[in-house]
Amino acid sequence: MIEQLSYKEMLELRLQLNNRLAAFENDAKEKLNQGIAVKGFVLKAGRKVRKVTNENTLVNALGKYMDYSDIYTAKMVGLPAIEKALKSHKLDGNQIEAMLAPHIDVSLAPSTMVYTGE
């Protein structure tokens, strides 16, 4: 039966199935959170999340043992931000391109297939 469906029909079926699965899973999770058993499902404890509550006090405490450069790292901003900053210094597109080109490798990402609906 499924072999006779068009690609468009299979996409529509997948959407319906995904929506039904999401509703089923939401219902199951709600029941589990209420302490109601659901066959085939259990609640798994979430992973531990650690978060600095006060960065300044931590940095002060670490300062006895670590240099500032050991605590913080600097990372170059992305190319769009660099180009924007250069434009704010009144450089035109050709000047920016000439400045950046020797330092940038431009390549294409792998091609992807796109369904056109036909």
Do the beta carbons of residue 79 and residue 100 sit within 8 Å? yes
* pLDDT of the residue at 107: 94
- Identity at 70, one-letter amino acid code: D
Residue position matching structure tokens 């080109």? 101
Domain boundaries defined on the chain: 1-44
* pLDDT of the residue at 74: 87
Q: Global pTM?
A: 0.54
Q: Which tokens is 117 given?
A: 């609906």
* pLDDT of the residue at 3: 87
| Euclidean distance between CA atoms 42 and 28, whole angstroms | 9
* pLDDT of the residue at 2: 81
Collect all residues with Cβ–Cβ distance below 8 Å to 7 and sequence separation of at least 6. 115
Per-residue pLDDT of the chain (118 residues; tens, 9 = 90+): 888 999 999 999 999 999 999 999 999 999 999 999 999 999 998 999 999 999 999 999 998 899 988 999 889 999 999 999 999 999 999 999 999 999 999 999 998 978 777 6
* pLDDT of the residue at 40: 93
